[in-house]
Structure 1
Amino acid sequence: MGMNVGMEQSGDDIPMSDINTTPLVDVMLVLLIIFLIAVPVVLETVPVQLPTVQYEPTESKPENVNLSVRGAPDGTCEVYWNVQPVASDELLDRAVVHLEQAIEAVGGVDNLTDETMPEVHIRGDVDTPYKCIGGAIFTMQRAGFARVGFISEPPAGTAVKRL
């Protein structure tokens, strides 16, 4: 690496006091290009069309299972089959028996259709931890229920729209 020296009138070589800014400008341009490329990647999101919420009255059939789920003050989960409290082991056993009885009532698995397949309707309290509702969903799917839905209340003053 060399050093530039200037000529003084007397002929003695003295070092120049000017800073060479070319490497600094090169580094800054490279950083600018990197940021120009990286910023749009960070700001982009995956385009997703979120569903619009429409409240549709739920038809209750006798073979449907109605679960109410809420979080207890001690951090545990409370699950109710209709109005009876059930533990998680009992929930699985009861769901399997209920599904088997529903299949027998329609004449076997071959006669099972979308209309005759029982559904699970879950009513979750607003303050219920996700682990409670997720556990109820998992248990019911493990028992064999294919349709698990949520029951909600429309805000006061909104009209119910039928599709």
Structure 2
Amino acid sequence: MAFGSMQDSGRQAPMSEINVVPLVDVMLVLLIIFIITAPLLTHSVKIDLPKAESNPNITQPEHVELAIRADGSLFWNGEPVALEQLAPRFAAKVAQAPNTELHIRADKLAHYEHVARLMSIAAKAGLTKIGFITDPSEK
């Protein structure tokens, strides 16, 4: 790199070379800064995600299957039952086995009001394990 010429002509020629040393110094400083700060930029939140399994659940023998048709008719393990009979039946089942599960099989056209009323009656009777039975087949 020449900062000037050794000629004695007295006339200074303009410097036509680019000084790259300051540019390299700046780039090295930026590289070091990015290397130090890059691991700090990854903000990950540690959460426990639920585990999903494709195996069917094995149900306990103490369960009640309650079916609801679209018209609101109810079936206790396949036999027709009235809405007024559910509370005493649930209470008797809970007294017999406290870990009894309620499996609700509702028609897809059944109103949510019927399902919610049924769940409310079951919860008041002491059934805490309530599940829904669905059809896994695709159309």
Structure exhibiting the larger radius of gyration computed from Cα positions: 2
Q: % of aligned pairs identical?
A: 31
Q: 2:108 corresponds to which letter in structure 1?
A: V
Contact 1:69/1:128 (CA < 8 Å) preserved in 2?
yes
Residues 59/118 of structure 1: CA separation in 2 closer, same or farther (3 Å cut) = same
Contact 1:71/1:132 (CA < 8 Å) preserved in 2?
no
Find the partner of 1:133 among 115, 118, 121: 115
Q: TM-score, normalised by structure 2?
A: 0.57
Residues 99/143 of structure 1: CA separation in 2 closer, same or farther (3 Å cut) = same
Q: For structure 1, list consecutive stretches of 5 or more residues without a partner in the other structure.
A: 1-50, 104-116, 158-163
1:99-122 superposed Cα distances (whole Å, 9 cap, x missing partner)? 10114xxxxxxxxxxxxx111110
**Does 1:68 find its partner at 2:74?**
no
Q: Helix, strand or coil: the match of 2:73?
A: strand
Q: For structure 2, list consecutive stretches of 5 or more residues without a partner in the other structure.
A: 1-49
**Residue 122 of structure 1: aligned partner:** 104
**Residue 82 of structure 1: aligned partner:** 77
Residues 56/132 of structure 1: CA separation in 2 closer, same or farther (3 Å cut) = farther
Q: Detail structure 1 runs of 4+ shifted over 6 Å in the superposition.
A: none
CA RMSD across the alignment: 2.4
CA distance in structure 1 between the aligned counterparts of 2:68 and 2:92, rounded to whole angstroms: 20
Q: Larger relative contact order (C-alpha < 8 A, sep ≥ 6)? A: 1
Q: 2:59 corresponds to which letter in structure 1?
A: S
Contact 2:65/2:104 (CA < 8 Å) preserved in 1?
yes
CA distance in structure 1 between the aligned counterparts of 2:89 and 2:105, rounded to whole angstroms: 18
